Structure 1
């Protein structure tokens, strides 16, 4: 669990970390609680499933991050992405069974799973045992590792949706920004599977070896002025990129938009910076309009995008680089690793 400011932790909470998240103090702790009660025969559980989380990642939720809002005055669960085992199913559930492994389907905007149920709260991946509507889960086939799959609900689904929105086709030149994040690493591979020739720009070049292994034609470092000059020259030689996939779009938007070719497609993911983009919009929009280019936002993906990412992971067509999972009281290092923009690949916590 996590709480901000001067909030008091639950009486049974063992505090294990006190860190700064985007300039705000956030404390984390481990709480032992009785398992969630679940009667499969009860009518209110008929469409629900009881799951036990095996591994989770931050995804798009940790108190203190701009997209999650300010750290709360009370202690709450956090994280959106997980891999879980089905423990029990309601009487109307026919697509899942105890023992199945599942991941959440994180749609945007959130929707009601049925006419009478409230939208699911996606920000509670750190709760080990949960009651979840079956419509919000996707069954994992054998062959997907827990740590790798725990990064797919946000990163994999978003990346595959971005490639779909950009209509990447055989022979397209594609630039992926923020390369090193799980979303960008998945986008690199999804774009290559669609037939694109992929280039990448990362924060500091640390992800270059991984990007090369994943088939990127060439990667550039945003921290090196010389690399930006070479990237600009490359774009000019290509007559602009056919598509730009920019998961953290305000990090590179002003400069990257100028690298797009005529009738190019720019797809932006969810922005974690929460900064005022007004200064970026004027020059970037002028460049997009002059090129008859399109700009589309893509926050998360749909069930079909997640299913495609899962299928490619199981078949070996998609690799999801992850670090060794954190466990026990290593909550602070887990959160800091997941928030570090220089981290290459996924960071997970295993129960």
Structure 2
């Protein structure tokens, strides 16, 4: 089978198409013939050498967290899926034995990690992590869901967002940002989003964005959000200076959920301003398998249409990463096999 493998870790030019044996499932495992696999900034960080958990000893490395396709074969003891089923993979990997796995939610697992291997014609997976797809959900749309949309949905749940709430999303045109705007809209909330690109914001208005702020300047954003209203929730995947921006605009007793630090690993926070106004700052990583099941249902009933910017054949996986690196896209980039 063909795989799109990272053969070095300096950037998109390091993606090569290699041949590997088609895997065979062991007990509890399944082999999925991959039809679509979306890429994420997590993959790009590995490819650029920015993720220190991976190094040259891991090369050649096949990334790809988010895959959908058809079950080819299953191993002993598998009961949830059978060959021929159309499925999407929940990429969460948990130990199943720590107190957090027992008590839940599963993404609190002490050994929480993520699946890799979706950028291939076939993938060997934990069969218990497969969710069957209704006929009305395409593989391309399903592959867009696990990382960006599952993360955004879990953040909205952590902030208890509901109808009529005002939700602020700094950096609304990235993968998690787009998903956050779309899902907040599905929940009946009003949304504010920022971007450095007016063109991208125009596209976002067609996806449910109610208030667009064309700026990356912290002071301008504070003022612009204040002119619109006082957010009940902030979904922050940027970190850096935008953590304090989010806290400044957040209503008394409101919640900011943070899932990333693309604008900076560290943030300075006005502690008295947070505790005196009972504001909550909550960390969140990915989501849960039930979250992904809910998202599949939302797509199946037409409530949600994942935004796909462009699709690429497997042999052009490097070009997909180049597009992500150039920040030209709005929505998901999906490799189709």
**Coarse TM-score class (shorter-chain normalised):** 0.7 to 0.9
> What's the counterpart of residue 140 of structure 2?
147
> What's the counterpart of residue 95 of structure 2?
112
CA distance in 2, matches of 1:151, 1:68: 26
Output one character per residue of 1:162-204: Cα deviation in whole Å (capped at 9) or x when no partner. 1100001222111122211232222212222323111111232
TM (norm. structure 1) is 0.81
How far is the alpha carbon of 1:250 from its aligned partner? 3.0
Q: Within 5 Å, which residues of 2 pair with 1:264-343?
A: 264-272=254-262, 275-277=264-266, 280-283=267-270, 285-343=271-329
TM (norm. structure 2) is 0.84
> What's the counterpart of residue 98 of structure 1?
83
3-state DSSP of counterpart to 2:11: strand
Q: Is the Cα–Cα contact under 8 Å of residues 253 and 279 in structure 2 kept in the other structure?
A: yes
- How many residue pairs match? The answer is 317
CA RMSD of aligned residues (A): 2.7
CA distance in 1, matches of 2:312, 2:325: 14
1:20 aligns with 2:19: no
> What's the counterpart of residue 251 of structure 2?
261
How far is the alpha carbon of 1:83 from its aligned partner? 1.1
CA distance in 2, matches of 1:288, 1:342: 35
3-state DSSP of counterpart to 1:66: coil
**CA spacing shift, 1:324–1:276, aligned 2, 3 Å:** closer
1:72 aligns with 2:56: yes
Larger Rg: 1
Find the partner of 2:165 among 152, 156, 172: 172
Q: Is the Cα–Cα contact under 8 Å of residues 201 and 222 in structure 1 kept in the other structure?
A: yes
CA distance in 1, matches of 2:186, 2:22: 42
CA distance in 2, matches of 1:182, 1:168: 19
Find the partner of 1:214 among 204, 207, 211: 207
Find the partner of 1:32 among 19, 44, 55: 19
How far is the alpha carbon of 1:214 from its aligned partner? 2.0
CA distance in 2, matches of 1:212, 1:138: 31
How far is the alpha carbon of 1:28 from its aligned partner? 1.3
3-state DSSP of counterpart to 2:161: coil
CA distance in 1, matches of 2:196, 2:74: 44
Q: Is the Cα–Cα contact under 8 Å of residues 194 and 216 in structure 2 kept in the other structure?
A: no
Q: Which runs of 5+ in 1 are unaligned?
A: 6-18, 39-44
Output one character per residue of 1:140-178: Cα deviation in whole Å (capped at 9) or x when no partner. 211122222212110111111011000012221111222
**CA spacing shift, 1:203–1:151, aligned 2, 3 Å:** farther
Q: Is the Cα–Cα contact under 8 Å of residues 222 and 245 in structure 2 kept in the other structure?
A: no
Q: Is the Cα–Cα contact under 8 Å of residues 186 and 318 in structure 1 kept in the other structure?
A: no
CA distance in 2, matches of 1:37, 1:276: 40
Find the partner of 1:56 among 37, 40, 63: 37
Q: Which runs of 5+ in 2 are unaligned?
A: 99-110
CA distance in 2, matches of 1:31, 1:128: 11
